[in-house]
Every structure is written in structure tokens, then in C-alpha cells.
Amino acid sequence: MKTRLTELLKIEHPVMLAGMGGVSYSRLTAAVSNAGGYGCLGASTMSSEHLAHEIAETKRLTDKPFGVDLLTAFPDSLVHNVELLIAGGASTFVAGLGVPRHVIDLCHKNKVLVISMCGKVEHARRALDAGCDVVVAQGTEAGGHTGTVATMPLVPLIVDAVGGSIPVVAAGGIFDGRGLAAALALGADGVWIGTRFIATPEARAVPGFKERILETLEDGTVISRAFSGKTMRVLRNQTTDRYEADPTLLKKFPDQLGVSFSDGTFHLGGDERTEGVDPQREGYPAGQAVGAIDELIPAGDIVRAMVQEAERVIAKISAY
């Protein structure tokens, strides 16, 4: 399955692993890349030293292209971390929570592509004007930091806004080949998958995260500022209910992050051995795709099954 995205990223399938903080580490990133997709390290919770280690470990596990997702909201460390991903051999820098104007030239000088996460049309226009190479149109169905516009209208709106200048990747609520086929029909060049890849053996996760993903229905998520101060789609629990009942308790980003860390409700960046995690209070970022996930499946199998199903769907539609 060839698209402009597969040609640009030099990959086999137009399926990208979302750079999920606390989840997308070297093992999962390499598994997606080795299956022909595009793995992406989620570095928002990593120190610079840990990031360098994870990049090196990813290179050890795969000889295929991969990227690194960093938050532009932390400018003090951004330039240094971009230098690390360049030196480590990543082929893309994925920017979350803003357009990284001050490092785009640095990336391009070192033959690293820049991808920008976009929740509305204006975000995509700013990314295009700044020189980004790819935009991800992320609908509100997605887990983690998200906007208010749904994937179905957002993708074609952003496709039209960039006018074919750069590839558009669809994100939010996509979990199988039908979603990939639908994204391509909307004009996207590939998909950005997060929640489905949490429920894999290779994903890193704090205690209770994968279990909650498997048991939660499609209406079991909520957009909340409870854990970071920014709108984040997470699994609904006692913490989200508490802040929904009394929004005056909320602080702005990043102060709310400090509150979450201190009161023990957010251990993102931890792993299965992390202590003190209460699933009824913990911040578990996840999208509405949780309703379709009921078993752990190896990441490579997900990539291959998604592409095969999309090809069947497209062939079936073409036959009519």
C-alpha cells in the first residue's frame, strides 16, 4: 500500500505509531517499524539521558526508520533533545502542543523531517507556513491531549487547507483496517494510531493501564484537565469525576501536572513495576477506540492485519 507518506518516510505501510508519552518506548517503536509501519518514540516523559538511551536501543532493535515525539511546550529542553534525536539517527521530529518554528531549520539542515500535530485547520496552516513536512489531523476521539473537532470533518478540512502541499495523516478513533481505508478515502495519506497499540505486549504501561483499556467501553473516556491542566482524553475514574464536579480545583498547565504528581494520580513515564498506582484514580490517556479493544495483540500483527483489512475493504468498494 503506497502513498505519499510511505514514499516520504521510506516505509512499507502508511501506519504510524503515535508517540505516546510513557507508552511508546524502544520495544514498541521497533516492533511497529519492523512490521513495515513507522514507529515513534514518545519522549514527553523522558529525561534527555533516557531519550538518548531509548534512541540507541531503538537503533539496536531495528534498522528501519523511526521518529521521536517531543512537546514544544517545554522549550528549555527542546533544542537539546532535538539535537539528540538528530545525532541518534531518528528520521523525524514530531511536535506536540505547538509549531516548533525555532528548530525546523535545524532539523532540515540535518535531513530530519518535521511533523506537526494539529487539532484544527488553523494549526495545520501555521505548520505549513512554518515549513513542517507532514501534519497529523487529530480528532477529538483520540487519547491524550486533544481538541474539540471530530476526525471525520477534521481530516478533509485539513487536506483541503494544505492543498496537497504536504501529506496529511489521520488520527483519532482509528483502530483497524476499516479506519485506515476511511482515512485514505477522506484524503489522508496514512494513519496515526495510539490507543490500539497500548494493548500490546511491547507497550510500556503503569499497573492497571492495559487492563483498564481492555475492560472500558467506548463511552468510558472523558476529556479532562485533571492531570495536566490541558484538555486530555483519559479513562473516566474518581479523579476525573472529582474535578468535573468542582472545576475550581483545577490549576493551569503545567502547575496541574505538579498537583497530579504530588497527589499520586499521574505516574506516566513509569512502568509495570511502579508502586502506588490506583487504577480508580490514575490518569490513563486513551481514546474512544477502547470500545473495540478486548485483547493484547503483538504490535507487528496489528500493523499487518490493519493493512490487509484495508486492502480488502478498498477492493470490496471498488467492486461495486
Determine the pLDDT at residue 214.
98
- Mean pLDDT value of segment 294-300: 98
Determine the pLDDT at residue 97.
80
d(CA 16, CA 91): 13
Q: pLDDT tens-digit profile of 166-202?
A: 999 999 999 999 999 999 999 999 999 999 999 999 9
Determine the pLDDT at residue 320.
83
pLDDT band for position 316 (50/70/90)?
Answer: very high
Nearest to 133 by CA among 174, 172, 170, 162: 162
- What domains can be seen in the chain, in order of their start residue? 4-202+299-319 (3.20.20.70), 209-291 (no CATH)
| Residue with grid cell 519492523, as numbered in its chain | 34
Judged against a pLDDT cut of 90, whether residue 99 lies above it is answered with no
Determine the pLDDT at residue 7.
98
Q: pLDDT tens-digit profile of 224-258?
A: 999 999 999 999 999 999 999 999 999 999 999 99
Q: pLDDT tens-digit profile of 77-86?
A: 899 999 999 9
| Residue with grid cell 527542546, as numbered in its chain | 78
Q: What is the mean pLDDT of the chain?
A: 96
d(CA 116, CA 110): 18
d(CA 27, CA 142): 22
Determine the pLDDT at residue 73.
67
Mention every residue, 6+ apart, whose C-beta is less than 8 A from residue 77. Answer: 48
Judged against a pLDDT cut of 80, whether residue 76 lies above it is answered with no
CB neighbour burial string for 299-309, b if at least 16 within 10 angstroms, e if fewer? bbebbbebbeb
Total-model pTM: 0.97
Determine the pLDDT at residue 98.
83
Question: Residue 124, CB half-sphere, CA atoms under 13 Å: how many?
Answer: 27
Judged against a pLDDT cut of 70, whether residue 296 lies above it is answered with yes
- Mean pLDDT value of segment 114-134: 97
d(CA 219, CA 221): 6
Determine the pLDDT at residue 100.
84
| Residue with grid cell 514530531, as numbered in its chain | 94
d(CA 301, CA 319): 27
- Mean pLDDT value of segment 91-116: 94
